[in-house]
């Protein structure tokens, strides 16, 4: 069953994959076309309301040995996320699917993409385009929220064996390679062991408290994708030249990511560290690297070089106080539509 979870995630990430580049408070898309980009630097009123409505799980928190337990309302998905994972991301799959860029990408998947989704629905009883709400990947665990009431249980038993009931509302499937749980037909969890799933279900049903310091906290829940990246994972993405990797390792303690997909797609990566001088030096180095990449792209010329230079012209480094800065990138919807070609023509872009 977990292979279906990863297929669902792959479909969602297909939507995300085309986003993450280009920025500047004002975005020049043409000689006379200037528009505002809304970067996800903080939660909007609508996102505060969204988070508030999702706090449906009553949890208990110990304050001290002598004080009574405190009852708190939590978001069920965020409450079961593991703590201290090197990587964690939550994808607002339903929101992305219904965003302009989601509509364009789905329109351009063609018959092959539609056939894969139809096959998934036929085999599992689950339609990722209508039944999936959010996907979380934290460490080696995958969690999804949505409507799982239509899952084909016979197919799950064929893939994973007969389930065992656990707690009040969960059933757990397990084979030699993986364990999958369905809780209350509204959440699916996949992990290496059934013990990990039992712990999560205990949190959902009030028998255990959620982690004190989850990888993704509720105050990070804004944008259509949000999460954290370890410094080690970040350095794997960076070029070797100019000692940039070493500077990141020395200066940065954490990376927080937010992406929004309504309107022009925008990404904010917040980097922070305890040594403000090293953080500032890194910010300058990254700014210099962006400038170098721009020059190289312009020098290469041709259509690809021009496109890359245009995107890099709009990238920026934003200082956010001592020990913190952000890299802001964006991707204009008009640019995506042009690159996708005629298949995206039927999608009407927002003004």
Residue 296 pLDDT class (50, 70, 90 cuts): confident
pLDDT the model gives residue 31: 35
**273 exposed, middle or buried (CB, 10 Å; 0-12, 13-18, 19+)?**
buried
Q: Among 56-70, 112-126, 209-223, which range has the highest average pLDDT?
A: 209-223
Residue pLDDT, tens place only, 299-329: 777 766 677 777 777 678 888 878 899 988 8
The pLDDT, as a whole number, for residue 325 is 92
Helix and strand numbers (H, E) in the chain are 13, 16
Name the band, by pLDDT with cuts 50, 70 and 90, for residue 247: confident
Q: What is the mean pLDDT of residues 157-173?
A: 94
In angstroms, what CA-CA distances link 186 with 131, 134, 154, 183, 189?
10, 11, 18, 6, 10
Q: What is the pLDDT of residues 1-34, one digit of tens each?
A: 444 444 444 444 444 443 333 333 333 333 333 4
**pLDDT above 60 for 272:** yes
Best CA proximity match to 312, nearest among 335, 295, 336: 295
Task: Write down the pTM of the prediction.
Answer: 0.83
Length of the chain: 351
Identify the CA nearest to 327 among candidates 244, 262, 266, 273. 266
Q: What is the pLDDT of residue 109?
A: 84
User: What's the mean per-residue pLDDT of the chain?
Assistant: 82
Which residue from 256, 312, 258, 259 is spatially nearest to 287, judged by alpha carbons? 312
How far is 249 from 244, CA to CA, in rounded Å?
A: 9
pLDDT digits (tens, 9 = 90+) for 24-60: 333 333 333 344 678 899 999 999 999 999 999 988 7
Sequence-distant contacts of 112-119: CB under 8 A, at least 24 apart: 116/7, 116/11, 117/11
Q: Is the pLDDT of residue 226 over 50?
A: yes
State the burial class of residue 287 (Cβ atoms within 10 Å of its Cβ: 0-12, 13-18, 19+): middle
315 DSSP 8-state letter:
-
Domain boundaries, the chain: 2-23+71-204, 220-344
CA 128 to chain centre: 16
Q: What's the whole-number mean pLDDT along residues 171-185?
A: 93
Tokens of 81: 């996320």
User: What does the pLDDT look like over 103-140, one tens digit per residue?
Assistant: 998 888 888 888 888 888 888 899 989 999 999 999 88
Residue 256 clears pLDDT 90, i.e. is over it: yes
Token pair of 101, please?
A: 């860029």
Q: Give pLDDT tens digits for 73-84.
A: 999 999 999 888
Please give the average per-residue pLDDT across 273-283, as a whole number: 90
């Amino acid at each position: 069953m977990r292979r279906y979870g990863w297929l669902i995630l792959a479909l969602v990430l297909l939507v995300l994959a085309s986003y993450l580049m280009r920025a500047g408070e004002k975005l020049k898309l043409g000689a006379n076309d200037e528009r505002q980009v809304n970067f996800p630097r903080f939660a909007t009123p609508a996102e505060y309301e969204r988070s508030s409505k999702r706090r449906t799980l009553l949890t208990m928190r110990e304050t001290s040995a002598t004080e009574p337990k405190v009852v708190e309302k939590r978001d069920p998905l965020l409450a079961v996320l593991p703590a201290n994972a090197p990587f964690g991301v939550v994808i607002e799959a339903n929101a992305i699917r219904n965003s302009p860029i989601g509509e364009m990408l789905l329109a351009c998947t063609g018959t092959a993409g539609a056939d894969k989704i139809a096959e998934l629905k036929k085999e599992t009883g689950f339609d990722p385009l209508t039944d999936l709400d959010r996907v979380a990947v934290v460490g080696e665990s995958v969690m999804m929220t949505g409507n799982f009431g239509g899952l084909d249980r016979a197919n799950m038993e064929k893939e994973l064996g007969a389930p065992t009931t656990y707690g009040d509302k969960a059933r757990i499937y397990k084979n030699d390679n993986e364990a999958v749980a369905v809780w209350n037909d509204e959440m699916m969890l996949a992990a290496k062991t059934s013990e990990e799933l039992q712990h999560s279900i205990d949190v959902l049903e009030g028998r255990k408290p959620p982690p004190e310091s989850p990888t993704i906290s509720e105050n990070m829940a804004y944008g259509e994708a949000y999460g954290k990246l370890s410094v080690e994972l970040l350095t794997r993405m960076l070029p070797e030249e100019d000692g940039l990797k070493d500077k990141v390792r020395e200066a940065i303690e954490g990376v927080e990511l937010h992406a929004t997909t309504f309107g022009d797609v925008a990404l904010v990566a917040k980097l922070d560290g305890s040594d403000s001088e090293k953080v500032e030096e890194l910010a300058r180095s990254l700014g210099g690297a962006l400038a170098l990449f721009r020059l190289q792209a312009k020098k290469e010329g041709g259509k690809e070089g021009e496109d890359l230079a245009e995107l890099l012209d709009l990238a920026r480094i934003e200082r956010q106080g001592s020990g913190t800065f952000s890299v802001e990138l964006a991707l204009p919807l008009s640019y995506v539509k042009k690159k996708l070609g005629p298949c995206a023509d039927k999608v009407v872009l927002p003004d």
